[in-house]
Chains A and B, each alone.
Chain A
Amino acid sequence: MQALLNVNQLCKSFGQFHAVNNLSFTVNKGDVFGFLGENGAGKSTTIRMILTLITQTSGEIELFGKNLQQNRKEILQQVGAVIERPDLYKYLTAYENLNLFAKMSGLKLSKATLMEQLDVVGLADRFDSNVKTFSQGMKQRLGIAVALVHNPEFIILDEPTNGLDPQGIADIRNLILKLSHERGKTILVSSHLLSEIEIIANRMIIIHKGKKIVEGEVKTLLDPSKTIVSIETTNNQFAFDQLSQSEWNQKLTMNDYQIQLETSKNDIPKIIRFLSDKNIDIQLIQPRHSLEDYFLKLTKSEKHVEPFTN
């Protein structure tokens, strides 16, 4: 695979605080790359360095095989980005905003082309409405249209579903998949939700306190053979005793509310049948990948967490 973005030993400090610490990763051409971490993990800081909004303390960033600092203008012509909130000129219409940022990218696009761009994000019918009348989801979609207006090869979306309702989240998710599958764009999406990255990304990295925890293929990292299954029954103690004598007794635990065991996702129907055969009524059964479990530990605990091993 051809590397499109190469981040090498990147560091950023604000005084004594190390926001990004020796971070290295690679985004390949055609990837939908998930950039995962809890709030404050250093995702936005890293993205801002990739977009030259802030200067790194040390380390190197290469985009399209070129040094970012030395070829900033040339590189940014091929990059589109939405960083956190999609803030646009509220006193201008959707069309005017799009036209203005197209011109800023050095393009003079026809009205038809701009309307086509608005159509891609489902805003063609609101082209002449002022942005101040838009919902958060509409602003987010317009922000994406602005990021795409100059047809960039690489798109960076920083927490694109923040503050959106379920329909808005689904719309953005579909748009990302469409851009990747139909237009062949390389996309870096940051999020603090593993479930979101799991759906859209083919590769991912998890960072914590500015450091890389794990990087790789999503399907490898989220291998279904490493699934943690949470079970709630009408009689947890009895269910636990039965499971202790079964093939799933190796990584079996119980707390006040739930039984947890680690197994393959494919075993879940067998577990349900096993418990039903023992006349145990299941109230809840919830599969969760061990990486998700690990990520939850990271985000919920300030205590030391051992490195993740797949």
Chain B
Amino acid sequence: MLSLLQIELFKISRRPRTYIAFAAITAIVLIFQFAFKADGQSYMNLMLQNVQDNFELDRSKAINGYFMCYIILNTLLVQVPILVALIAGDAISGEANMGTLRLIMTKPVSRTQLIMVKFFASFLFTVFLLIWMAVMALFVSLFIFGADDMLIFRVKGEESQILQITKDDVLWRYFAAFGYAAVALTVIASLGILLSVFAENSIGPIVATVCIVIFFTIVSNINVPIIDKNVKPWLFTSYLVGWKGFFYIGTDGDGQPIKGSIENWAAIRNSLYILMAHIVLFLGVAIYSFRKKDILS
């Protein structure tokens, strides 16, 4: 199994398309960093215009590496599923399209093994992608903008909030958030693999994965009570942005933030369970379908 995984990673590493995702992330992060370095104060003024009167802060320190990373992740983690779909959607269908699937299946490799290897390879790709995001969005931002206390702008119900996390309480939250994002994006990877089982070219499953994510995300953002109650809990996209929960710091009775705390750990934990259940479901269906499939490509 380990040998097969090494082979899979070798193949992924030799394909030019693999690096599109890394190049895209690098370009987007650099644009963000350049824009905020050049004119970050305008953004900060816009965000603070509603709370200017009752919130005192040193604006020159508000735009720091931690804040930048949060802003970048907020934008980027919506797009990254597309990059993950590029690899996962191609997993089986790409082999079928190239004609190599039938050659692999004439080797002493079981179908379950192949799906699992494709899954682990997609998972590792997702992890590498997130590590690269962490390097670019967090560490490069810290290098450019420095470290300081972090501000989070949040809309809770009908109320706008600004949360402040001290700089010595931020880093672990990022590690936790990246860990959560890895699980969330692995759901996309397993969905991509599932769809790729049924196709004999890569375009279909990649487009289908992206379309499903976009469709579910739109439905997840419809704020109508009937959808909130009956539909959203069943959509995995409702849980993709759960990483933000690590930055919603818990408060004491006086509304003061408690260092090292999370406002709603139970919600994050439940979201993780639901995401993992989706991974198991998608992967299980993929294995079942692939074992039954006649390879005619």
A and B found bound together: yes
Q: A66 contacts the other chain (Cβ, under 8 Å)?
A: no
Q: Which of B11, B15, B16, B103 contacts A83 (CB 8 A)?
A: B103
Q: Which of B106-114, B180-188, B221-229, B245-253 lies at the interface with chain A?
A: B106-114
Q: List 17 A-B contacts (CB under 8 A).
A: A48-B294, A48-B295, A51-B102, A53-B294, A54-B294, A54-B296, A72-B110, A76-B106, A76-B107, A81-B106, A89-B98, A90-B98, A92-B14, A100-B7, A101-B107, A103-B6, A143-B103
Given the known A-B contacts A87-B98, A106-B3, A146-B103, are A53 and B108 also in contact in the complex, defined by CB atoms under 8 Å? Answer: no
Kindly identify, within residues 123 to 143 of chain A, every residue whose CB is under 8 Å from any CB belonging to chain B: 143
Number of A positions contacting B (CB below 8 A): 31
Q: CA A171 – CA B181 in complex, angstroms?
A: 54
Q: A180 contacts the other chain (Cβ, under 8 Å)?
A: no
Number of A-B contacts (CB under 8 A): 75
Which B residues contact A (CB, under 8 angstroms)? 3-4, 6-7, 10-11, 14-16, 98-100, 102-110, 292, 294-296
Chain B residue with the shortest CB-CB distance to A81: B106
Q: A79 contacts the other chain (Cβ, under 8 Å)?
A: yes
Q: Verify A103–B100 contact, CB threshold 8 A.
A: no
Kindly identify, within residues 51 to 73 of chain A, every residue whose CB is under 8 Å from any CB belonging to chain B: 51-55, 72-73
**In the assembled complex, which residues on chain A have CB atoms less than 8 Å from the CB atom of B102?**
48, 51, 53, 83, 87
**In the assembled complex, which residues on chain A have CB atoms less than 8 Å from the CB atom of B14?**
89, 91-92, 96
Q: A284 contacts the other chain (Cβ, under 8 Å)?
A: no
Q: Verify A106–B103 contact, CB threshold 8 A.
A: no
Q: Which of B16, B103, B110, B292 contacts A87 (CB 8 A)?
A: B103
Kindly identify, within residues 165 to 217 of chain A, every residue whose CB is under 8 Å from any CB belonging to chain B: none
Q: CA A287 – CA B261 in complex, angstroms?
A: 92
Chain A nearest CB, measured from B291 CB (Å): 10
Q: Verify B107–A85 contact, CB threshold 8 A.
A: no
**In the assembled complex, which residues on chain B have CB atoms less than 8 Å from the CB atom of A81?**
103, 106
**In the assembled complex, which residues on chain B have CB atoms less than 8 Å from the CB atom of A115?**
none
Q: Verify B108–A77 contact, CB threshold 8 A.
A: yes
**In the assembled complex, which residues on chain B have CB atoms less than 8 Å from the CB atom of A51?**
102, 105-106
